[in-house]
Amino acid sequence: MRFVALGDSITLGMGDPLPGGAWRGWAALLAESLPSPDGFHNLAQSGAMIGDVWRGQVPAAIALRPDVVSIIVGVNDTLRRRFDGDVLREQLGASVRTLVATGAVVLTIRLPDPGLMFGLPGALARPLARRVRAINAAMDDIAARHDTLHFDAAGHEGVYDRRMWSVDRLHPSERGHRLLAGAYHDLMRGAGLALGPRPGPEPRNPAPTRAAQLRWLATKGTGWLVARSTDLVPALTWLAAVETARTLATRALRTTPPT
C-alpha cells in the first residue's frame, strides 16, 4: 500500500523528534501499520499553504500513484493578511478532486482552533477562529462530496489537552502525533482497509524536560521563532487591530441615536 502525505510542518512531523534531529510525526507512525510501510512518501513542507499543496505537492503525489493520500493544510493560510476564503476553497476542492480521481483513498481534516491552542486573548482568537471555520466549512463540503476519510480534530476534546502540543504550542507533541495517527487508523479500518496494529497512544520517548525545551527553542527553534517574528506576530497584531476596529464600529452603530 503506497501512502503519500501532503501538507505543512504538522505532517512533516515537527514536534515529534527522533534521535539525530530528524522528525517523525503522525504520518510516519500511521505508515508503520500499513501492509508495506516502505511505500510511504512524505511530501509535506514546513510553511506550506493550500496553494503550495495544490500547485506542487498534488502533482508530485499523483506521479507516485498512491493508494492513500493525506492532506492536512490551512493553518499557515489563516496567518496571512491576504486571506481569500473563496480562492482557498477552490484550491482545496481542486486538490481533493484530483486526488480522488486517481482512485486513491483521501484523508482530510477539520482543523482545531488555533486560538485555543495558543491560549490567545479574544481580540486575537476571534479572527483566527473565523478563518479556521471558513477553511473547515470548505473542507467539510469537499469531504462530503468526495467521500474522504474526514477527521474532526476541531471537535475532538483530547486535541486541546496541553500534553498534545509541543513547546511551541503550534505543532503536536509525540502524544498529539499519535492521536492523529490513531484517529486515521480507525477511519481507514472502518472503511475496510487491511491494516496492522493501531499506533499506540502513549509516547515511546520520554517527555522533554523544561531544560530540553529551552535548548530546542535556543537551537532548532531559533529559525522558527525568527520566521514567526516577521510573519505570525505582525499577522496577529493586524488581525487584532481589525477586530478592535470592527468592535468599535459596531458599538458606535448601536449607540448612535436615530435621526
Residue range 32-56, pLDDT digits in tens: 999 876 799 999 999 899 999 999 9
Per-residue pLDDT tens for 46-84?
A: 989 999 999 999 999 999 999 999 999 998 898 887 889
Least confident of 9-13, 37-41, 102-106, 222-226: 222-226
List the beta bridge partners of residue 71: 6
pLDDT at 123 over 80: no
- Closest residue by Cα to residue 19 from 189, 205, 179, 170: 205
pLDDT at 28 over 90: yes
**What are the cell numbers at 44?**
509535506
Domain boundaries, the chain: 3-207
**pLDDT score for 225:** 45
CATH number 3.40.50.9100 is the correct assignment for the domain at 3-207 = no
Read off the pTM: 0.82
Rg (CA), the chain: 19
* Mean of per-residue pLDDT scores for the chain: 84
- Whether residue 25 contacts residue 187, with contact meaning beta carbons closer than 8 Å, is answered with no
**pLDDT score for 21:** 77
Per-residue pLDDT tens for 178-231?
A: 999 999 999 999 999 999 999 999 988 766 655 655 555 555 544 554 454 445
- Closest residue by Cα to residue 217 from 169, 164, 146: 169
pLDDT cut 70: percent of the chain above it: 75
Distance CA 82, CA 74 (A): 13
- Closest residue by Cα to residue 147 from 115, 189, 105: 105
**pLDDT score for 129:** 86
* C-alpha distance from residue 146 to each of 37, 106, 114 (Å): 26, 9, 26
